[in-house]
């Protein structure tokens, strides 16, 4: 009987020690406008390949942030003659950790961080995560607009509504200096090189479409993303945005970084009690065998 009781307690302790199931990964999605991309001078024609961005999604996975992008822009860019490198790609990703402030104010306060994730773009900095001190534009060498206002004017003149994801600023475009076309990191302090441009998000354990098909009312031809380490970034709320190198379309989204959720090695009180009971039973068993 004692041996049976010990076996049962050991089985229960083993179950308690088994790895906990992974927490469900909840992706936060942000749609963009579905007719505000400009391809070959035409707004909203949904050219494929082209510059319509349909939405983004992000999720924190341990100490990494994963961002999915759904658009009509291929992973390796839109081929165009006469542009730098022969193709127009995504610019860099910016994260403002002073989300109550507009982008330029946050930049001056040292609260803007940037991620160069695309090895094919014309950013002047190396792949990595930066505390940004200056931004730059690569639109001129990519046949793009000279300012955000220029882009907005083209879209509205053709009867479409320009959209920039979501920011807390009300008018989405007032978050930026609309006289500029800055879309890459100009200068900054390199914090980490743990950045990956991901052609297939299913390699990270997600659905190949990152759930966009079930979330957005319209989707583009291509889904891919980026993954980067959060250790170099502040914790808390942020506003993120990115543009194509030509700023023919772009988007923003809000999010939050948090402490990495790791399992603790400290056992629960009930588990400690279980170990104490098992120890007592083993001790009692040993005494009986010795006495016998």
Q: What is the mean pLDDT of each run of 10 residues along the chain (292 residues)?
A: 43 43 72 95 97 97 97 98 97 97 97 98 98 98 97 96 77 87 98 98 97 97 98 96 97 94 42 39 36 36
Q: What residues does each domain of the chain span?
A: 1-20+264-292, 26-262
Give pLDDT, residue 260: 85
Give pLDDT, residue 269: 40
Give 124's DSSP letter: S
| DSSP secondary structure of 175-207 | GS-TT----EEEEEEEEE--EEEES-GGGGTS-
Give pLDDT, residue 262: 54
Q: What is the pTM assigned to this prediction?
A: 0.82
**CA 103/CA 112 separation, integer angstroms:** 8
The set of residues, in sequence order, having a beta carbon less than 8 Å from that of 113 and lying 6+ positions away, is: 94, 95, 97, 129, 130, 131, 132, 191, 232, 233, 234
Give pLDDT, residue 266: 37
Q: Which helix (H) or strand (E) holds 128?
A: strand 128-136
* Helix, strand, or coil (residue 142): helix
């Amino acid at each position: 009987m004692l041996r049976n009781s010990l076996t049962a307690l050991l089985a229960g302790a083993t179950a308690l020690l088994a790895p906990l199931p992974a927490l469900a990964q909840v992706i936060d999605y942000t749609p963009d406008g579905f007719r505000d991309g400009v391809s070959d001078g035409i707004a909203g024609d949904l050219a494929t390949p082209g510059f319509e961005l349909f939405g983004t999604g992000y999720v924190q996975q341990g100490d990494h942030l994963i961002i999915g992008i759904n658009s009509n822009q291929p992973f390796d860019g839109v081929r165009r003659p006469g542009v730098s490198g022969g193709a127009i790609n995504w610019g860099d990703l910016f994260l403002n950790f002073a989300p109550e402030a507009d982008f330029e104010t946050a930049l001056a306060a040292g609260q803007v961080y940037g991620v160069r994730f695309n090895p094919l773009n014309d950013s002047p900095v190396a792949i990595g995560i930066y505390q940004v001190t200056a931004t730059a534009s690569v639109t001129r060498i990519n046949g793009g607009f000279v300012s955000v206002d220029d882009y907005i004017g083209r879209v509205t003149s053709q009867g479409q509504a320009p959209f920039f994801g979501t920011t807390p600023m009300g008018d989405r475009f007032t978050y930026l200096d609309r006289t500029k076309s800055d879309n890459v990191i100009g200068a900054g302090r390199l914090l980490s090189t743990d950045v990956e441009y991901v052609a297939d998000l299913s390699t990270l354990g997600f659905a190949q479409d990152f759930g966009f098909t079930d979330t957005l009312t319209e989707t583009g031809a291509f889904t891919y993303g980026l993954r980067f380490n959060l250790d170099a970034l502040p914790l808390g709320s942020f506003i993120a945005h990115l543009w194509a190198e030509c700023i023919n379309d772009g988007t923003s989204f809000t999010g939050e970084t948090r402490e990495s959720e790791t399992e603790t090695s400290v056992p629960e009180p009930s588990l400690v009690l279980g170990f104490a009971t098992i120890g007592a039973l083993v001790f009692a068993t040993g005494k009986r065998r010795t006495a016998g």
